[in-house]
Amino acid sequence: MSARIGAATSGVRVAGLTVRHRRTVALDAVELDLDTGVHGLLGPNGAGKTSLIRVLATVAPPTEGRIELLGLDISAHQERTEVRRRLGYLPQEFGYYPGFTVREFVSYVAWLKEMPAHSVPRAVERAVERVGLAGRLDAKVKTLSGGMARRVGIAQALVNEPDLLLLDEPTAGLDPEQRVEFRALLRELGATSTVIVSTHLVEDVAVACGQVTLIDSGRVAYRGTTASLTELGGTADPTASGAGSPADSPQTSSPSSPIERGYTAALRAHRDAVTRGKQ
pLDDT in tens, 9-60: 569 999 999 999 888 999 999 999 999 999 999 999 889 999 999 999 999 9
User: Residue 238 has what pLDDT?
Assistant: 54
User: pLDDT tens digit string along 184-239?
Assistant: 999 999 999 999 999 888 888 888 899 999 999 999 999 999 999 999 987 655 55
Give domain 12-278's CATH architecture: 3-Layer(aba) Sandwich (3.40)
Beta strand segments in 107-183, E: 164-168
Q: Report the C-alpha gap between 273 and 52 in whole angstroms.
A: 23
Mean pLDDT across the chain, nearest whole number? 88
| Model pTM score | 0.89
User: pLDDT tens digit string along 52-86?
Assistant: 999 999 999 999 999 999 999 999 999 999 999 99
157, amino acid identity: A
CB-based contacts of 190, cutoff 8 Å, min separation 6: 36, 37, 38, 208, 210
Paired sense of beta strands 211-216 and 72-73, if any: unpaired
User: Residue 190 has what pLDDT?
Assistant: 94
Confidence of residue 93 (pLDDT cuts 50, 70, 90): confident
User: pLDDT tens digit string along 110-169?
Assistant: 999 999 999 999 999 999 999 999 999 999 999 999 899 999 999 999 999 999 999 999
Q: Report the C-alpha gap between 264 and 244 in whole angstroms.
A: 9
Q: Report the C-alpha gap between 251 and 50 in whole angstroms.
A: 17
Residue 2 CA, distance from chain mean position: 26
pLDDT (mean) for 162-178: 92
Contact, 137 vs 125, CB < 8 A?
yes
User: pLDDT tens digit string along 238-257?
Assistant: 555 444 444 455 544 445 78
272 forms bridges with which residues in the sheet?
A: none
User: Residue 200 has what pLDDT?
Assistant: 80
CB-based contacts of 73, cutoff 8 Å, min separation 6: 2, 3, 4, 5, 66, 67, 79
pLDDT (mean) for 258-271: 92
CB-based contacts of 45, cutoff 8 Å, min separation 6: 247, 248
